[in-house]
């Protein structure tokens, strides 16, 4: 995986992503540079190269003089998301999220809420890339992410582990009226289509956020954040 740009590489270092080397514009060699210092502190090799070489290697045209050669993100096994000593696991499953900024924001919210793991489908969905890593602002280092071929099979696995599966969708009972003090996996749908009907059918229920405005849907990352923090509120503060 290749990561370009100063801020993106800084977040990759914070995320403990394995970086083989960072290529830096040779014109920066003699100036004080916080990213170069951070790389050396983390024992990452820094290689100074001509700007023309970075331009040829860049796929975004926005490298800012920095390109990192990284090992591809290592996904976690699905089974590792369940801790046998945790009687109230919370898993987030993403059904076709395509926008890397949404994905990164979801990772950040999940880390803040103490979610045990995230599940994404292998096909027709955003995978972990440099934009996701940058948008997560380092949170990706603390959240397990499993990649699965079939989301329905993953749902069956979690059901066998004793989890209740909920779709965050319209048309269900208000989330504020439901008892969420139980082991839960919540499915967040894609930006345009929501949770697929075939996935909803496999769920034990639907969690609906009541909307008071004229727009009938929320951004996927916002909906995810509101949903998981309501689950957290009930578990921590609702006696």
pLDDT along the chain (239 residues), means of 10: 87 85 93 91 94 91 91 92 91 95 95 96 91 85 94 97 96 93 96 91 95 78 96 86
Half-sphere exposure of 141 (CA within 13 A, CB side): 12
pLDDT at 14: 82
* Full-model pTM: 0.85
pLDDT at 11: 82
Domains of the chain listed by start with CATH number: 2-70 (3.30.1330.30), 78-237 (3.40.1280.10)
Give residue 153's Cα distance to chain centre: 20
∠ CA 47-51-53, rounded to 5° = 75
């Amino acid at each position: 995986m290749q990561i370009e740009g100063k801020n993106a590489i800084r977040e990759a270092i914070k995320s403990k992503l394995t970086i083989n080397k960072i290529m830096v514009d040779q014109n920066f060699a003699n100036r004080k540079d916080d990213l170069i210092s951070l790389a050396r502190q983390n024992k990452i090799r820094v290689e100074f190269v001509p700007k023309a070489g970075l331009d040829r290697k860049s796929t975004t045209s926005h490298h800012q003089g920095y390109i990192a050669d990284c090992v591809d993100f290592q996904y976690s096994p699905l089974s590792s998301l369940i801790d046998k000593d945790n009687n109230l696991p919370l898993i987030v499953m993403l059904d076709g999220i395509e926008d890397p900024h949404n994905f990164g924001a979801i990772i950040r919210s999940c880390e803040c809420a103490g979610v045990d793991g995230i599940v994404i489908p292998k096909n027709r969905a955003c995978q972990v890339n440099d934009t996701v890593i940058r948008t997560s602002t380092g949170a990706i280092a603390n959240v397990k992410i499993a990649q699965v071929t079939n989301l329905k099979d993953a749902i069956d696995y979690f059901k066998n582990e004793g989890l209740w599966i909920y779709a965050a969708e319209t048309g269900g009972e208000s989330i504020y009226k439901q008892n969420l003090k139980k082991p839960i996996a919540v499915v967040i749908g894609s930006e345009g289509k929501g949770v697929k009907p075939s996935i909803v059918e496999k769920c034990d229920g639907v969690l609906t956020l009541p909307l008071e405005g004229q727009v009938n849907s929320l951004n996927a990352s916002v909906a995810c954040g509101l949903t998981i923090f309501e689950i957290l509120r009930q578990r921590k503060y609702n006696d």
